[in-house]
Amino acid sequence: MDNKSKDSKTYPVLSRVDVPDDIRKLNVNELKNLCDDIREFIVETISHTGGHLGAGLGAVELTVALHYVFDTPKDKLIWDVGHQGYPHKIITGRKEVFHTIRQLGGISGFLKPSESGYDTFGAGHASTAISAALGIATARDLSKEKYRVIAVVGDGAMTGGMAYEAMNNAGLQKRNLIVVLNDNNMSIGPNVWAVSNYFTELIAHPSYNRFKSNVWELTHKLDTLGDRIRKLASRVEEGLKVIITPGILFEALGFRYFGPVNGHNIPKLIKIFSDIKDLSGPILVHVITRKGKGYKPAEEDDQALHGVTPFDKTTGLSVKKEGAKPTYTEVFGESIVRLAKENPKIIGITAAMPEGTGLDKLRDEIPERFFDVGIAEQHAVTFAAGLAISGYVPVVAIYSTFLQRAFDQIVHDV
């Protein structure tokens, strides 16, 4: 049996999909089955190669819906970082070489424009997608071209200040730009879900937006009374948003907010993207997903299975050689705990990487002296400088590639 025949039996729908045009030929049930196939394909492959697991599993339906609704690669899809980009790679012509991911001579673990025309922008650091998307949207408008620009940003990236700098500027520019917030870290009650979903469907519906536009045009003919009507209507709509949706911050930055939307419901995702894709101005769609979705070990421990070495598919546990030496990360983590127990002035600081740096051990044993500041390397370093000048001994653990962001703080503040 050749590989093509084997794949058609193992992944019956995925075997028929190479590029997004193939997805647009599928019905809703086939799209759901495609998502199941993609998840199985990712788990099977990454269990052998290692890589980033949880974020991609959580973004499968979102990825499929985006490529189904938007005309990629003409419409520009920008992914923040790339951890959530594995499903995107699989359905944009790289399925057959996905097993080479992060291998010598293989495909990149991140989005890479030189690798595919579907990879609009390359990134390895978080919080950059909205800035890049705004730049692309500005270039589009200056060139008088017609296409949509969509940035997909994880909730982790929204702990980085650059994301808000970009949103603030986008709100001022008022360009047509869509930001999809892939939120896999939010707990929301069922009643809030129900009311919020209804309200989102209402304000996103084309009929509502046509009616609103017609009413606005009519009130412009009513002079002072028209101004009062518009102000009252806006206050009512904004008041409802404040009460029943969590998007007031984004509205304050100049974005129209839609959500939260169930990020694992294909029909709802297709509907919301279809409804908002031609609206004017900056739009934010808030999508709730579950990291590790569909693979039990990743759902139960999304941190441990964020970035992985080869692992046992049944248990989710890493495959380690017998007698393997401890890693540098393990040695550092254990050492910092030992030193912190001896010196009450030692403080551990990380920028959203407790497990990756080994500071999770300090977090678990002496939590009051552990600080995770989010994806904010600049703040982390100057925060440490403030502690140091006050007599404490801060230990800042940041990956070298991310520390580039804090060079100014190291030189100026430390």
Is the distance from CB of 238 to CB of 251 less than 8 angstroms? Answer: yes
Q: Which of 291, 361, 363, 369 is catalytic?
A: 291
Kind and range of the H or E run holding 177: strand 177-183
Cα 138 to Cα 128: distance, rounded to the nearest angstrom: 16
Look-up: residue for tokens 């788990």?
43
Residues 6+ apart with CB under 8 A from 291: 54, 55, 57, 58, 184, 185, 298, 299, 302, 306
139 conformational bin, left if phi > 0, alpha if psi -120 to 50, beta if neither: alpha
345 included as an active-site residue = no
Find the helix or strand (DSSP H, E) in which 259 lies. strand 256-262
What values do phi and psi take at 181, rounded to 5? -90, 110
* Nearest by Cα to 85 from 104, 68, 66, 71: 66
405 tagged catalytic: yes
377 is catalytic: yes
d(CA 391, CA 123): 38
The residue ranges of DSSP E strands in 265-397, in sequence order, are: 282-288, 307-308, 346-350, 370-372, 393-397
Here the tokens at position 400 are 């070298």
Other beta carbons within 10 angstroms of residue 215's beta carbon come to 14
Which residues are designated catalytic? Answer: 291, 377, 405
